[in-house]
Structure 1
């Protein structure tokens, strides 16, 4: 074995450990360099990431015939290029050498090279065209893995003019014998449509994708659904009718968990024609409520809830069956899954308050859980309280009130306050004991709870009034001060030292930083002055003088002037304004405890609405800018061609209408809720009223499909056989003008009445919209004869 004394490392360490006296007066030689350091112009230079020397070295290595002859060495050099690329280094200068490296039988090397080309093709569009021939050649390779890899790489080249090169390989890939190639080709159709932008959708390609829904490979089927959804986004997405729905239901056992959840989501678009068909579908889907995948269970549950909207007992049974999977998700190690499950549990409890009551211990907080999960669990516990578990839940929440996190402790106190609306005595006792801790954040939260509690439950006013003395010494934040001052002003006649506590606040009003506290102080003193004038007169005078003469905040000054003039009107008038009888606050408590229907949130189940909240989610989605434009002529509803047609139902063919030239361009992004429609409808006058001949039977599905083609939204529609039959429609043009329509067909009438209202005075746009609507309805009437 060699001695370490003979190695270069020993010489370096010996050099570094030499005493400084040996180098005194000497100059180090320029020829000495540490290992790995290059000499240049007599100086040492360390190569850095992305330097020219590094790029030249990579280029030389890629062009070296000896390296190319050794497959392993060649692959290692390519891996170095990919490594630098992933680190953000611009290695586009070796693009030509990497293109040459794609001509190999080594599939690993091909993957690396294709990854490089997809990354730098936008920077080198001219050179990237040289790689098209190699990719097209590989699309015909005998190896299906090579064919699929080449086709996927071609579709990922983000460069202008690539569409003409990838169209034929994609069509060939759709008919390839290998399922892997077909999977890639189907997704390539969506990529190709995205590259084409706002161009007209290729009907032949859409028909080809619809026919591939019968493919033997289940992944191809799911990919077709996703590709059609992307391609037909302007037309409302993929159409799910009876043949397609039944076909997908029969293929469900062959799909993996991801495919099952996707198909279950698409099946929400199908509405069974009769009750017998509905329960046949539900029986087929029953097994997926027991799936090991949480996503499949949630998707199946939503489909059950939506389809069984007219059968509340079925909805309740389904929610009982998914109780186990939801509880398992609530205790999952995945924090994201746990939080999502808790949000959905809260949603279910809005309609079924006692649904999880027997499992309340599952929602006790663990020490290691993050803050947001603990807050969700506390909100769930508030909804699970009953006579049997009330004591245990209150004790658990009481322990959270002394948590090291001030925010979490306050949330626990607010949770006890929510429970106090039902179990007042027990909760008030716990809250009163918490005041003895003399902690600022705890006292502030308790006083805020007391303020809300005496408002909703006046019977606990006496207990609260006895607990308030001494709280002013601890509270420092504005929310706590406002709550305490409000209590002293409204219920000060029950608190002996109320005027003197308010006097302390008046003495320090100049140093008060929060204007809301000053406004609350003014109101409280005026109210207390009405009940105890002798003790409050001098205090109120000083406060009014300061707020009117010295205060710079206009809100505080205006409020002080208002009270000053009100007092000049007399005590009776002041008392009538400030102390007039209020409504019964217990009605609000009953409204909060009212149970909602499952149908109110069934469509929001398994979405982001339970996580963000309906109002916040509506705001977020409304702020998104969608760049969708209506095509000049509506596209015909796609169908599958072939002997064994999946879509055998009658199609709705709407005649081509150039709506832009006629004066109206309807946009497909209109989304009016029933409440918005009703509110707008009542505020608008009648714009036009016409009739269209109608001697056919009403088919709501056919009418809705036809209206969707021309971007007219169906808000509400009567069932088949209803007398009279009505429908309410909404649409919007590119200028923001809204068109609202009522369709009415009375018994024995051979004409359908159309009543149209619009938000702006545009006669030309109104006539153009009427023309579009009459054309669609006339076409539908001819189809249903």
Structure 2
């Protein structure tokens, strides 16, 4: 039967009588009919609010009937979606208002213009019921417009920012997230602005919702760029530590998100979590993705004070079952030796113990990192080369082969049978990956320089393969370079002084700083904490179409400790980032800054 019959103007007292009827109605069928009549009257614009002052109408069973209306906000028919939102907007009941928030938020972004128009009007209606709720949704809408528009950018001043912070206490957890996100549009212009706002945002770090905590951390990390006193910055760093630690007691998914964000934070502010390294020790039941994320943070937080604890943990991890975890643990031991010189001896001992296990993938990872240790500390640990050479038969991975070949070539004069070892590797030269071929080519030349008699037969053979039998341009170019420094193509007239200067030149100083993220990218990702960009560690414009890049806007109080932070960005933003342009309004793209003073949200905030 059609529902058209319900669309008749009903009198309040008649509907109240039917609603409060005492007749037995176990299935509530009669009262559902009355509720349909009420909804129909509200859809026609009749004021039904007196009915909701009755206790019976507030009964959860009937409220659930109205809440069900929110499901229609996802209906394929745009007319149904719009009607659902408009109907719920007329109901002044707390549970209905709460249930309206999520459907309304989705409808504000709906593809259909009629739905968006209805949702915008409903936001205004919602203001009559819950002013604070409207603020959060209005801010969310304006932030969304700013993110998606090519010529509109959100801009806040200190007065409006303070009003938004004041509204946080009255908002739901998701409303707080939207307001905190909007605060990223505030650019401090006066000394003390950033410090004041940080202090007011800091209580959000204690929130139970992880999204609120991470977004608050993002705002604080952003505002610290505009602080001038080291004392204030250090105090904020101390306040960030406990909430981030608390996130690690959540489920593995939340832990992983937190760990990926923490990895960014400690690269910019190492003092955060410096004394909390134990919370990153891996648990037996941690998923592998959590373990690997913790390992990286452990390495970065390691210092001369806690290195013994870290090394002990890494040695234990290197004996576990999961291959990926073991590999990363072994590699971390080697990186630790390079990072902290005082622990190099202990790290070498630990690696030798692991090599003695004869576990194939453990041995290969150990050889890879020992190569870096040899480069970092020349003429200190060559006594272990014999142990490494005992495991040549276990090498079947390109990186491990290349590392071992480098060691043989670099210390060809100390390894008695270095020519035989290289000859064995050369047996499969043409079938090897390029990185192994490059290593073999250079190692053979080094052998000839250090032991001319032993290497004189190998060099011509390798150079011929590299220049005539392979297609890789890098390998061929290196082969031709080696031919040229010998003089004539068919003769080996060698100026040893010149050859040594080229082939045996000093290597670049090896450090673990190469593991650090490029400063400009790091600064941008810190502006995207709690988003996918902070998990992927990639700028959002690389995987989200038309995403706007974020950067630190010039200001009289912008902290310039990192002068490189504005370099190497897209040249289109060069003028803007140079400091010669102070506001969005005058940038090359003619971006219009949206000022809350010109919008309804200003009036809403004044009423709070």
Q: Give the TM-score normalised by the residue count of structure 1.
A: 0.57
2:223 corresponds to 1:307: yes
Partner Cα separation in structure 2 for residue 397 and residue 148 of structure 1: 57
Return the match for 2:139 from 182, 203, 225: 225
- Bigger Rg, which one: 1
Partner Cα separation in structure 1 for residue 248 and residue 478 of structure 2: 50
Q: 1:326 maps to which residue?
A: 244
1:577-726 matches, within 5 Å, as: 578-579=502-503, 581-582=505-506, 584-585=508-509, 588=511, 602-613=526-537, 617-618=538-539, 621-626=541-546, 671=549, 674-675=566-567, 679=571, 715-716=576-577, 726=581
- Residues 571-617 of structure 1, C-alpha deviations (whole Å, 9 max, x = no match): 2277157425336415x55676899899776524333344222xxx2
Partner Cα separation in structure 2 for residue 552 and residue 306 of structure 1: 49
Residues 518, 595 of structure 1: alpha-carbon distance in 2 compared, 3 angstrom cutoff: closer
2:92 corresponds to 1:177: yes
Q: 1:705 maps to which residue?
A: none
**SS at the partner of 1:375?**
helix
Partner Cα separation in structure 1 for residue 306 and residue 106 of structure 2: 56
Q: 1:255 maps to which residue?
A: 171
Return the match for 2:203 from 254, 279, 287: 287
Partner Cα separation in structure 2 for residue 140 and residue 147 of structure 1: 19
Q: 2:32 maps to which residue?
A: 106
Does the CA-based 8 Å contact 1:183-1:220 persist in structure 2? no
1:293 CA drift (Å): 3.7
Does the CA-based 8 Å contact 2:318-2:326 persist in structure 1? yes
Q: 1:447 maps to which residue?
A: 367
1:369 CA drift (Å): 1.5
- Residues 622-669 of structure 1, C-alpha deviations (whole Å, 9 max, x = no match): 34334xxxxxxxxxxxxxxxxxxxxxxxxxxxxxxxxxxxxxxxxxx6
Partner Cα separation in structure 1 for residue 187 and residue 331 of structure 2: 44
Q: 1:507 maps to which residue?
A: 427
Does the CA-based 8 Å contact 1:190-1:228 persist in structure 2? no
Partner Cα separation in structure 2 for residue 219 and residue 193 of structure 1: 15
Does the CA-based 8 Å contact 2:110-2:116 persist in structure 1? no
Q: 2:452 maps to which residue?
A: 533
Partner Cα separation in structure 2 for residue 337 and residue 107 of structure 1: 45
Residues 166, 339 of structure 1: alpha-carbon distance in 2 compared, 3 angstrom cutoff: closer
Q: 1:397 maps to which residue?
A: 314
Does the CA-based 8 Å contact 2:423-2:458 persist in structure 1? yes
Does the CA-based 8 Å contact 1:492-1:498 persist in structure 2? yes
Q: 1:264 maps to which residue?
A: 180
Partner Cα separation in structure 2 for residue 603 and residue 261 of structure 1: 15
1:111-260 matches, within 5 Å, as: 136=43, 142=51, 145=63, 148-149=66-67, 152=70, 155-159=73-77, 162=79, 166=82, 174=89, 176-182=91-97, 194-195=109-110, 209=123, 216=130, 218-230=132-144, 233-234=148-149, 236=152, 240=156, 244-260=160-176
Partner Cα separation in structure 2 for residue 191 and residue 380 of structure 1: 37
Partner Cα separation in structure 2 for residue 358 and residue 219 of structure 1: 40
1:523 CA drift (Å): 2.0
2:296 corresponds to 1:379: yes
1:219 CA drift (Å): 4.0
Return the match for 1:475 from 395, 400, 410: 395
Does the CA-based 8 Å contact 1:139-1:146 persist in structure 2? no
1:35-46 matches, within 5 Å, as: none
Return the match for 1:571 from 484, 490, 494: 494
Partner Cα separation in structure 1 for residue 120 and residue 159 of structure 2: 17
1:546 CA drift (Å): 5.4
Does the CA-based 8 Å contact 1:544-1:560 persist in structure 2? yes
1:415-434 matches, within 5 Å, as: 415-421=332-338, 422=340, 423-434=343-354
Does the CA-based 8 Å contact 2:92-2:129 persist in structure 1? no
1:428 CA drift (Å): 1.6
Count matched residues: 531
Residues 481, 257 of structure 1: alpha-carbon distance in 2 compared, 3 angstrom cutoff: same
Q: 1:516 maps to which residue?
A: 435
Please identify which structure carries the higher helix content.
2
Q: 1:414 maps to which residue?
A: 331
Q: Give the TM-score normalised by the residue count of structure 2.
A: 0.72
Partner Cα separation in structure 1 for residue 433 and residue 517 of structure 2: 37
**SS at the partner of 1:402?**
coil
Does the CA-based 8 Å contact 1:339-1:376 persist in structure 2? yes
Q: 2:560 maps to which residue?
A: none
* RMSD (Å), alpha carbons: 4.6
Does the CA-based 8 Å contact 1:526-1:540 persist in structure 2? yes
Gaps of 5+ in 2: 1-23, 52-56, 552-565, 599-608
Does the CA-based 8 Å contact 1:206-1:228 persist in structure 2? no
Residues 241, 257 of structure 1: alpha-carbon distance in 2 compared, 3 angstrom cutoff: same
Gaps of 5+ in 1: 1-69, 76-102, 111-131, 627-668, 683-713, 719-724, 732-739, 742-768, 781-785
Residues 454, 108 of structure 1: alpha-carbon distance in 2 compared, 3 angstrom cutoff: farther
1:507 CA drift (Å): 3.2
Residues 267, 492 of structure 1: alpha-carbon distance in 2 compared, 3 angstrom cutoff: same
- Residues 36-58 of structure 1, C-alpha deviations (whole Å, 9 max, x = no match): xxxxxxxxxxxxxxxxxxxxxxx
Return the match for 2:279 from 352, 356, 362: 362
Partner Cα separation in structure 1 for residue 72 and residue 369 of structure 2: 63
Residues 146, 483 of structure 1: alpha-carbon distance in 2 compared, 3 angstrom cutoff: closer
Partner Cα separation in structure 2 for residue 292 and residue 352 of structure 1: 24
Partner Cα separation in structure 1 for residue 281 and residue 133 of structure 2: 41
Partner Cα separation in structure 2 for residue 228 and residue 104 of structure 1: 44
Give the number of the structure with larger relative contact order, counting CA–CA contacts within 8 Å between residues 6 or more apart: 2
**SS at the partner of 1:496?**
coil
Q: 1:49 maps to which residue?
A: none
Does the CA-based 8 Å contact 1:301-1:319 persist in structure 2? no
Return the match for 2:260 from 335, 343, 356: 343
**SS at the partner of 1:407?**
helix
Partner Cα separation in structure 2 for residue 559 and residue 717 of structure 1: 41
Does the CA-based 8 Å contact 1:401-1:408 persist in structure 2? yes
Partner Cα separation in structure 2 for residue 525 and residue 717 of structure 1: 50
